[in-house]
Amino acid sequence: MFRSLAEVLLPGSCPGCGAPAEPVCASCVAALQPAPNRATPPGLDHLGAAFAYEGVAREVVARVKYRNARGAVPWLAGAMLDHLPGGRSADVVTWAPTTPRRRRERGFDHAELLARAVGRRAGLPVRGLLTRLPGSHQTGARRDERHAGPQFRARPDAAQRRVLLVDDVVTTGATLAAGAAALRRGGAVSVIGLAAARTP
């Protein structure tokens, strides 16, 4: 409660300790945990992730997702690219789109914001190569349908591309796997995943 109030009054406050800092102060950066070493979701040639989804990293991602904290976006993009191993190349950046309803409610797509920042920093073009198909995460969807996860369709210009697929948080990996499957059906040559955080 107190911290939320402080953030309203001081939007440039560190999410870890409340100190004036944008987006994260140096001591909280030093305490960030690396992403856990878990299996790469199916369909991806590789998955890079900056942080474990906990503590300060979780709060930074939440600020981007729910409060459009754009100051944190370039910082996260830099940390994400630091976790892309050398030699892993791509020629286009795209993202796994959120649902149209969430995009309407928030006024933006946080995954697209991250993808655009990654593309700027990496010097790569950013294209919306995926369309999210209706049915998943919809009100009233049956439980088994929800468990099936999101489904995507690739746009024609995914063909012959080496794609860097960006998302904010990897939990089960179902979203990135579904995006990668759609890109490959659309003729993409390779798909590398890149996320801000992965659940421990």
Least Å from the CB of residue 1 to Zn ion: 19
Report which of 29, 19, 15, 4 is spatially closest to residue 60, judged by C-alpha positions: 15
Q: Which is nearer to Zn ion, 31 or 189 (CB)?
A: 31
The crossing angle, in degrees rounded to 10, of helices 110-122 and 72-81 is: 60
d(CA 127, CA 115): 9
Report which of 24, 48, 16 is spatially closest to residue 35, judged by C-alpha positions: 48
Least Å from the CB of residue 18 to Zn ion: 7
Q: Which is nearer to Zn ion, 14 or 182 (CB)?
A: 14
Q: Which is nearer to Zn ion, 19 or 181 (CB)?
A: 19
Q: Which is nearer to Zn ion, 60 or 122 (CB)?
A: 60
Confirm if 177 and 43 have CB atoms less than 8 A apart: yes
- Residues linked to residue 169 through DSSP beta bridges, in sequence order: 197
* Kind of pairing between the strands at 162-170 and 190-198: parallel
Least Å from the CB of residue 48 to Zn ion: 25
Q: Which is nearer to Zn ion, 20 or 86 (CB)?
A: 20
Least Å from the CB of residue 12 to Zn ion: 12
Least Å from the CB of residue 3 to Zn ion: 12
Q: Which is nearer to Zn ion, 28 or 164 (CB)?
A: 28
Least Å from the CB of residue 22 to Zn ion: 11
- Name the site residues for Zn ion (rule: CB under 5 A): 14, 16-17, 25, 28
What's 93's DSSP letter? E
